A and B are shown apart, each in its own frame.
Chain A
Amino acid sequence: DSGVTQTPKHLITATGQRVTLRCSPRSGDLSVYWYQQSLDQGLQFLIQYYNGEERAKGNILERFSAQQFPDLHSELNLSSLELGDSALYFCASSVEVSAETQYFGPGTRLLVL
């Protein structure tokens, strides 16, 4: 157990819908990262927040957005969902912004029908 929690574990929804994925970092970690892993693919970095501020942005679609709240939990919002958005979404956390070591949550499996 990495100490990073993600909810929900599974999510099934329809195309065109909007969903919110939630992540709670390890106690004491200020940085949160979001990744997308499509079926049998590597991880794609989406976005990073540090202490409430966006610090790095990867290949995140405009339909996707994220934020980190004052209690340091983070949410990833996915809207106008498409079939291709079906994937495993990981959240990771680290103490510092530079993130030499990231601790991953168990992931949220999203299925868009």
Chain B
Amino acid sequence: AQTVTQSQPEMSVQEAETVTLSCTYDTSENNYYLFWYKQPPSRQMILVIRQEAYKQQNATENRFSVNFQKAAKSFSLKISDSQLGDTAMYFCAFMEYTSGTYKYIFGTGTRLKVLA
């Protein structure tokens, strides 16, 4: 069965420092998509970054980048130059098409606190 695991329930980082959030997943498919979503205290779900499994190049979006290790089924998020506004829950998510339907699975989240 497909699963997404975020092993770090909570993390903290000093403002301007770099932090890495980890995510592992399990699938038998070769083509799929991976996402990181941010959920600030407002509870709005905001897409941070996405990665297509068929692309070897790691996705980047400004201060956010991923380390995608397909063989290891690992998809970590690196936040550089952390800002107070980065304080939020971060969810790793997975999407694939298998057995004639789409599957969407979210991890349990990592609560990140950026300290001034």
> Using a CB–CB distance below 8 Å, which chain A residues touch chain B?
2, 33, 35, 41-45, 48, 55-58, 88, 90, 92, 97-104, 106-107
Also in contact, A99 and B91, with CB within 8 A (given A42-B107, A107-B43): no
- Would you call A45 and B105 a contact (CB within 8 A)? yes
Cα-based distance from A92 to B91 in the complex (angstroms)? 15
Q: Which residues of A contact B50 (CB under 8 A)?
A: 100-101
Question: CA A58 – CA B104 in complex, angstroms?
Answer: 8
Q: Does B60 contact A (CB under 8 A)?
A: no
**16 residue pairs A–B, Cβ–Cβ below 8 Å:** A35-B106, A41-B108, A43-B106, A45-B103, A45-B104, A48-B102, A48-B104, A55-B102, A56-B101, A56-B103, A58-B103, A97-B102, A101-B47, A101-B50, A104-B46, A106-B42
Enumerate chain B residues within 8 angstroms of A35, measured Cβ to Cβ.
106
Chain A residue contacts of B43, Cβ below 8 A:
88, 106-107
**Which residues from 91 to 116 on chain B have a C-beta closer than 8 Å to any C-beta of chain A?**
91, 93, 95, 97, 101-109
B interface SS class: strand
B101 touches A57 (CB 8 A): yes
Q: Taking the complex as formed, is B28 at the interface, i.e. its CB lies under 8 A from any CB of chain A?
A: no
Interface pair B106/A102, CB less than 8 Å apart: no
Using a CB–CB cutoff of 8 Å, the interface residues on chain B facing chain A are 33, 37, 42-47, 50, 52, 91, 93, 95, 97, 101-109
A74, chain B: closest CB distance, angstroms: 16
In this complex, the member of B44, B97, B108 whose beta carbon has the largest number of chain A beta carbons within 10 angstroms is: B44
Q: Which residue of A lies closest to B44 (CB)?
A: A106
The interface residues of chain B lying within 8 Å CB-to-CB of A41 are: 108-109
Interchain CB contact (< 8 A) of A55 among B44, B91, B101, B105: B101
Taken together as a complex, chains A and B put the C-alpha atoms of A41 and B45 apart, in Å, by 13
Q: Measured between C-beta atoms, what is the minimum distance from B22 to chain A in Å?
A: 15
The answer on a CB contact under 8 Å between A99 and B107 is: no
CA distance A41 to B97 in the complex (A): 24
